[in-house]
Structure 1
Amino acid sequence: MPGSENPHDHEIIIIGAGIVGISIAAFLAEAGHQVLVIDRTGICEETSSGNAAALAFSDILPLASKGVLAKMPGWLLDPLGPLTIRPSYLPKLVPWLYRFWRASGASAQANSLRAQAMMMQLAETEMLSLMQRAGLSSMLREDGSLELYESEAELKAAQPGWDAREKVGIAYWHIRGRELAEYQPGLSPRFVVGSFVPDWKTVSDPKLLGQALWAYAERAGARFTKGDVKGLAASDGSSVIRLADGRALSAGKLIIAAGAWSHQLAQQCGDIIPLETERGYNTTLPAGSFDLRRQLIFSGHGFVMTPLESGIRVGGAVEFGGLRLPPKYARAEAMLKKAGTFLPGLQTGGGRQWMGYRPSLPDSLPAIGKAKDLPNVFYAFGHGHLGLTQSAATGRLIRDLVSGQTPAIDLTPFNPQRF
């Protein structure tokens, strides 16, 4: 059994019990590895608990694109719009924005799109298989998604993205007029056309899914301890994790999957990785607030609506403001107000507001691979909006690396040192 003669406290320690860390733990435990997961709050309690519940396997377009750059000046003038930067945070963000601009070039964007398409193919296969092995297929919803536009011109501007999806085999079709009401009754007539993706999937509740996957990993032998990691000391042969309560834990292999905080830990391992935080907001309305048939995507306004087991989640948008500035829940309120006009019958009262930190790299690709100078330290972070979607694929890839096997896909585009 791997790790049976391990001289350290633990064979493998994973820092981070979000959906990515949980999935890695499941894959490693299945393979017989001894795994300890550390998190400061608990299992799937932070960013992974409040996402939009989408398994967005067709979402292969990088955020860095000419279309997004063209829209950014207008968005930035609206502090409650789809994308904004807190003025006090702008000086710190400039280096990341420069890399983001570089990633929007035609060649760089094409490379990111190819890598993302490859990653998504693996993500779909591995997530559906993992959910089946864990007995969680009943939490999967296969209702498709409907992306909505207020004019034919808006659709025309989005068409290159649909063409790119079509080239890699992603099915979709446009619907108009009365047919829109068949896909989603109660829509405002301001929406004249929609794009339907039949293979788009969601889950009944992302937090409950994460906790259920953890229960599966735990049955396979994974263990959890609550702890706030304050420091790392890593070498070629071992890693020592220092916790705020004074404990020190050693491991033969260390995996950093701490989401938006991961770059701080990677820096202690000698790697400078340009991770930024897209702060996302949402409101979860009570069940029965509206008869929402499937996930609706309002791309021109930067948010989505998702039917969950517990209600309706209205959220999205991007705010760059780092990890320390207080939330600005007026952004959640603005999205909810729009949702009420887009679906006039929506009951907008009684909701729960939330804000989470999406870990984002400039080219929209995660960092998956080894630390530069420490072969026993592995990185698995930077998935942006796609942590849930790509979690099982990341678990598979980290298992491959830890086990010394050839990774399921070429990891060159995801190299943590690519910047």
Structure 2
Amino acid sequence: MTTVVVIGAGVVGLSAALALQARGLTVTVIDRSGPAAGASAGNAGAFAFTDILPLASPGILRKAPRWLLDPLGPLSVPPAYALQIAPWMFRFWRACSPRAVAASTTAQTALMDLSKAELEPFLAATGTAHMLAKRGNLQVYEGPDEFRASLPGWQARTDHGIEFQHMTPGEMADVQPGLAPRFTHGTFTPGWYSIADPKLYTEALATRFRANGGTLRIADAAAITPTDTGATLAFTDGTTLDACRIVVAAGAFSHRLARTLGEKIPLETERGYNTTLPADAFDIRTQITFGGHGFVVSRLSTGIRVGGAVELGGLSLPPNYKRADSMLRKAQTFLPGLNPQGGTQWMGFRPSLPDSLPAIGRAKATPNVIYAFGHGHLGLTQSAGTARLIADLVTGATPALDLSPFSPQRFQGFA
């Protein structure tokens, strides 16, 4: 019998698999398409440890009506999906109350702290430390009103001891030359790290996992059944695999497996879009966040990536690459020297829960199945911390932080 099966070969699943190997366990990773085939391939490459504020917040509620009027704006819901996502949106709205936001921020901060503490030892242990860069992040604002609206969030970071510096246009130009003059204010956070390229990093984790003796199998997991000695994983081709423990880290598809265990977890997908331009498209010196427009521009070892936004459109609707085109046009306006030619477009599924926190914990039906999904925009950021927690749960160690805010059962009664 395989000791542990991890379902999902994205950055969270492979990080967990490596952490389990480090505890001396035999691990098999299952993925329907292979390493870095989903959101782990196309994210912005940031370890956003200072991004402690949940997406579900009063600020988003204030912006949402304006954004939703623009079908290519920072937040959209395709009409064909509006009815299906209504229950999730109701829970998102409830999570935007001040009390809920305070609780989510506390939990998010704890997971960020753990993930930051675990990251560099994890990179060293997996031979990937050379892929880490510490360029920081520059958040830019169009005018004093937008800047003032951001200040409560920066106060929350101050309360946690996060380092940042508000900047004048001249100071911003020293950090990142070439910004359009429309950006009158900025805030630089040096504690924002980057990876050379998220796809190459995840593939490197897969290579290390195999080198450690792990098995990576391409197969489509269909259902999980508890057994007296663990759990059985059934595949769409009719075969099965027995394991002592199963870790579900299948990203936006994870809730389908949870349903086979009788759990209805409100996992949705924030469909993200980007365009990756050639490396000489612009002199990017730090990741730039255009928060009022919902996207970032970042430098990777493989090019310049322009991407972000949130399209709540599920797993089945065809991509709308006009959203990537729109962000690229804006980026060219915001960075007048940007060359928009020669780019490659991408769309991926970010697995998200209504309160902006992941599900990390045991299945209700059996303690032998453990969930690790729903990280939203922060899968890469929180991957090393989540891996530590999964290794603790599988081996029976006391988890490194209180997992009650991340309980998969916190959405009991979801229909």
Smaller-chain TM-score bracket: over 0.9
Structure 2 residue 332 is matched with structure 1 residue 340: yes
Aligned to 2:221: 229
Aligned partner of residue 216 in structure 2, secondary structure: strand
Moved over 6 A (4+): none
Whether the 8 Å CA contact 1:30–1:217 is kept in 2: the answer is no
- What is the CA distance between 1:221 and its match in structure 2? 2.5
**What is the correspondence of 1:16-415 to structure 2 with a 5 Å cutoff?**
16-415=8-407
Whether the 8 Å CA contact 1:270–1:373 is kept in 2: the answer is yes
In structure 2, how many angstroms separate the alpha carbons of the residues matched to 1:119 and 1:222? 27
Whether the 8 Å CA contact 2:180–2:335 is kept in 1: the answer is yes
Moved more, 187-196 or 242-251: 242-251
- What is the CA distance between 1:267 and its match in structure 2? 0.9
Aligned partner of residue 28 in structure 2, secondary structure: strand
- What is the CA distance between 1:217 and its match in structure 2? 2.3
Q: What percent of counterpart residues are identical?
A: 54
Moved more, 227-236 or 198-207: 227-236
Q: Size of the alignment, in residue pairs?
A: 411
Amino acid at match of 1:71: K
In structure 2, how many angstroms separate the alpha carbons of the residues matched to 1:172 and 1:95? 37
Aligned partner of residue 380 in structure 2, secondary structure: helix
- What is the CA distance between 1:236 and its match in structure 2? 4.5
Amino acid at match of 1:388: L
- What is the CA distance between 1:219 and its match in structure 2? 2.6
- What is the CA distance between 1:235 and its match in structure 2? 3.2
In structure 2, how many angstroms separate the alpha carbons of the residues matched to 1:216 and 1:122? 23
Aligned to 1:4: none
- What is the CA distance between 1:381 and its match in structure 2? 0.2
Whether the 8 Å CA contact 2:226–2:365 is kept in 1: the answer is no
Residue deviations 1:236-269 (CA, integer Å, cap 9, x gap):
5332222233321111111100000000101111
In structure 2, how many angstroms separate the alpha carbons of the residues matched to 1:366 and 1:181? 36
Give ranges in structure 1 of 5+ residues lacking alignment. Answer: 1-7
- What is the CA distance between 1:134 and its match in structure 2? 1.7
Residue deviations 1:340-363 (CA, integer Å, cap 9, x gap):
000111000110000000000011
Normalising by structure 2, report the TM-score: 0.98
Residue deviations 1:333-390 (CA, integer Å, cap 9, x gap):
0000000000111000110000000000011000000001201000000000000000
- What is the CA distance between 1:229 and its match in structure 2? 1.3
**TM-align CA RMSD:** 0.9
Residue deviations 1:290-319 (CA, integer Å, cap 9, x gap):
111110000000000010001100000000
Give ranges in structure 2 of 5+ residues lacking alignment. Answer: none
Aligned partner of residue 73 in structure 1, secondary structure: helix
